[in-house]
Amino acid sequence: MKNDQNLRWWQRGVIYQIYPRSFKDTTGNGIGDLAGIIEKLDYLNDGTPASLGIDAIWLSPIYPSPMADFGYDVADYCAIHPLFGDLATFDRLITEAHRRGIKIILDYVPNHTSDQHPWFIESRRSLDNPKRDWYIWRDPGPEGGPPNNWGSAFGGPAWTWDETTGQYYLHQFLKEQPELNWRNPEVRAAMMDVLRFWLERGVDGFRMDVVGLLIKDAELRDNPPNPDADPNLPPNDIFGRQLHVYNQDQDEVHEIIRDFRQLLDEYGNRCGIGELWFELPRWIRYYGENNDGLHLPFNFRLMALPWQAQAIHRSVDELEAALPAFAWPNYVLGNHDSPRLASRLGGQAQARVAAMMLLTLRGTPTLYYGDELGLENGVIPPEKIQDPLGINLGAERTRDVGRTPMQWDASPNAGFSRAKPWLPVSNDYAMRNVAAQSADPTSILNLYRRLLWYRRGSPALYGGSYHSLDSNDDCFVYLRVAGDERRLIALNFADDQRQVSIPGENAGQIVISTSLDRQESISPSGFELRPHEGVIVEL
Ligand code: GLC
């Protein structure tokens, strides 16, 4: 075990993702802003256990953007969208966050720009424009039509025909998100300068959007069909019907990742996080062969699994076994691209067990705003859907359900805004909000606070080793150990009570239950967990 001194902030700390549009609006336009985030910093961490107690904030994109994909279509990488504020407000956010010991992580969107980015406006002007090769332009395929068979993740083909110059350009998301050509050295240099710009401003790290897509097959070969594709996919879901062999995860991408890492190392104590969905053996390569890759390739593996103790136990053990010694684990259970955690797991009790698990596994947890209140999927009437994924590929896939406004109190619009919010506030806001849950000693918010502050004081939890234990099929039980400090975590995934025994142990003390109503000694013969209850036991 490394001792505390050797742990970096991004190893020891907890990351909290803010979707800025939905966090807190101070201007009265129904859209959240940077001043709102500053206003709520004390909620996130004021140095006392009355606050949530997170260590870093990751902000989804705040740059100028036409908002075709709500900021993931960037029109200027080195400025702030006026909806959110300006650079002066951003600097104030950095100062105010740092004053509280909170790090700031920005979203870096390197794979594509907006079609309104000056680079693309130039590039599409003429075949011999100096920026032509900054994007991926191709003649039609041999039979006419797109250059290859790739699909866009947002529906339809990944190629759009451009009348002016008579070529297609590549976009694996919206046609408003043309893909940069990372094989071009000028693109690489310009995009490295973007990182420098923010590093100089004091940013502590980056979450790199679809970073495994930066390099595509040099010959842009056709992807093979996916034999296991769901036969009921909508006709325009070309992407969903293919195996993604040539459009992503090409070996040459690691060169670029190493450059990112080198730059972060030059500045020191900064963190590189990547959005990577690949299978374990491919995914793990993004840590680099020799600690020269990303610090934290996001681990989404638990999000894809059913809420089932043994499936999760296996996934965690697999990860622990596969990681090289230098690589630090991390876990994500919710984000702006997924349904709400509480809805996905089927209830509030399950969401509490998930919170305990996320905050006690070995590695860096990333929380998604509102999950600390147990927010459930928003109900978005079809005509109010904003997300292009929901509009193009079916209402049931809209990501809006997980992007509804933060629920601060029981006042109109949940205290999020004076104006009508850009997405409807969930119906449960009068009951489920920060103010109400702060006043309720056993609320899920107070569980999150308790877990976060307990973790902060526990070397076993933030830095210790992990050992899973055998138990009945419905429980996931593990030990975290640092020196003499030993903590047992026992999580019951079942609708019924379950008995847990702790072989070889003398006795212990339950210090936190997910219901926040239980602190008791337990005997060597074991103890009972109520349905969907988790506990931390001091041994
Ligand atoms: C990532 C983002 C998602 C966005 C997409 C295109 O997956 O998380 O929100 O739509 O990239 O940038």
What CATH number does residue 506 fall under? 2.60.40.1180
Chain-centroid distance of CA 412 in Å reads 29
The Cα–Cα gap between 398 and 338 comes to 9
Share of the chain above pLDDT 90, in %: 96
Work out the mean pLDDT of the chain and round it to a whole number: 97
Place of tokens 């933030």: 462
- Please, what is the angle between helix 253-267 and helix 185-200, to 10°? 30
- The ligand 1 atom at the shortest distance from the C-alpha of residue 389 is 10
Q: Which of 33, 204, 209, 237 is catalytic?
A: 209
- Same domain? 497 vs 397: no
- Same domain? 132 vs 99: no
Residue 54, pLDDT > 60, answer yes
Q: Which of 4, 266, 289, 520 is catalytic?
A: 266
**pLDDT at residue 4, as a whole number:** 57
- Same domain? 134 vs 229: no
**How confident is the model over 254-277, as a mean pLDDT?**
98
Q: For 474-502, what is each residue's pLDDT tens digit?
A: 999 999 999 999 999 999 999 999 999 88
Residue 353, pLDDT > 70, answer yes
- The answer to whether residue 263 is domain-embedded is yes
**How confident is the model over 187-193, as a mean pLDDT?**
98
pLDDT band with cut points at 50, 70 and 90 for residue 21: very high
Task: Please give the tally of structural domains in the chain.
Answer: 3
Burial 37-62 (b: 16+ CB within 10 A, else e): bbebbebbbeeeeebbbbbbbbbbbb
- The ligand 1 atom at the shortest distance from the C-alpha of residue 73 is 12
Residue 91, pLDDT > 80, answer yes
**How confident is the model over 120-128, as a mean pLDDT?**
98
By residue count, the chain amounts to: 539
Q: Whose CA is nearest to atom 2 of ligand 1?
A: 209
- Same domain? 136 vs 103: no
- Same domain? 195 vs 63: yes
- Same domain? 147 vs 216: no
505 near 532, Cβ under 8 Å? no
- The answer to whether residue 209 is domain-embedded is yes
Q: Whose CA is nearest to atom 4 of ligand 1?
A: 72
- Same domain? 146 vs 261: no
- Same domain? 13 vs 123: no
- The ligand 1 atom at the shortest distance from the C-alpha of residue 112 is 12
- The answer to whether residue 175 is domain-embedded is no
- The answer to whether residue 176 is domain-embedded is no
pLDDT band with cut points at 50, 70 and 90 for residue 505: confident
- The answer to whether residue 352 is domain-embedded is yes
Q: Whose CA is nearest to atom 12 of ligand 1?
A: 72
Q: Which of 148, 170, 192 is the endpoint of a domain?
A: 170
463 near 482, Cβ under 8 Å? yes
Domain housing 368: 4-113+184-454
Q: Whose CA is nearest to atom 3 of ligand 1?
A: 337
Q: For 396-430, what is each residue's pLDDT tens digit?
A: 999 999 999 999 999 999 999 999 999 999 999 99
Share of the chain above pLDDT 70, in %: 99
**What's the CA-to-centroid distance between 59 and ligand 1, angstroms?**
13
**What's the CA-to-centroid distance between 209 and ligand 1, angstroms?**
6
The Cα–Cα gap between 378 and 387 comes to 13
- Is 485 among the catalytic positions? no
Q: Which of 424, 454, 484 is the endpoint of a domain?
A: 454
Residue 117, pLDDT > 80, answer yes
- The ligand 1 atom at the shortest distance from the C-alpha of residue 388 is 10
296 near 275, Cβ under 8 Å? no
232 near 132, Cβ under 8 Å? no
Pair of tokens at residue 182: 């990372």
- The answer to whether residue 231 is domain-embedded is yes
Q: What residues flank ligand 1, with Cβ below 6 Å?
A: 69, 72, 109, 173, 209-210, 275, 336-337
Pocket residue to mutate for ligand 1, from 72, 113, 179, 403, most atoms within 8 A of Cβ: 72
Residue 24, pLDDT > 50, answer yes
Pocket residue to mutate for ligand 1, from 337, 386, 399, 401, most atoms within 8 A of Cβ: 337
- The ligand 1 atom at the shortest distance from the C-alpha of residue 399 is 9
**pLDDT at residue 501, as a whole number:** 87
Q: Whose CA is nearest to atom 6 of ligand 1?
A: 72
**pLDDT at residue 69, as a whole number:** 98
**What's the CA-to-centroid distance between 72 and ligand 1, angstroms?**
6
**What's the CA-to-centroid distance between 398 and ligand 1, angstroms?**
13
Lowest mean pLDDT of 92-106, 112-126, 518-532, name the range: 518-532
**pLDDT at residue 3, as a whole number:** 46
Q: For 213-251, what is each residue's pLDDT tens digit?
A: 999 999 999 999 999 999 999 999 999 999 999 999 999
The Cα–Cα gap between 232 and 394 comes to 12
Pocket residue to mutate for ligand 1, from 210, 214, 389, most atoms within 8 A of Cβ: 210
- Same domain? 515 vs 378: no
- The answer to whether residue 72 is domain-embedded is yes
- Is 209 among the catalytic positions? yes
The domain that holds 41 is classified in CATH as: 3.20.20.80
The β-bridge partners of 273 are 207, 296
**How confident is the model over 251-267, as a mean pLDDT?**
98
Pocket residue to mutate for ligand 1, from 67, 69, 214, most atoms within 8 A of Cβ: 69
- Same domain? 479 vs 437: no
**What's the CA-to-centroid distance between 536 and ligand 1, angstroms?**
36
- Same domain? 151 vs 254: no
- The ligand 1 atom at the shortest distance from the C-alpha of residue 72 is 12
**What's the CA-to-centroid distance between 336 and ligand 1, angstroms?**
9
- Same domain? 373 vs 418: yes
The Cα–Cα gap between 25 and 18 comes to 13
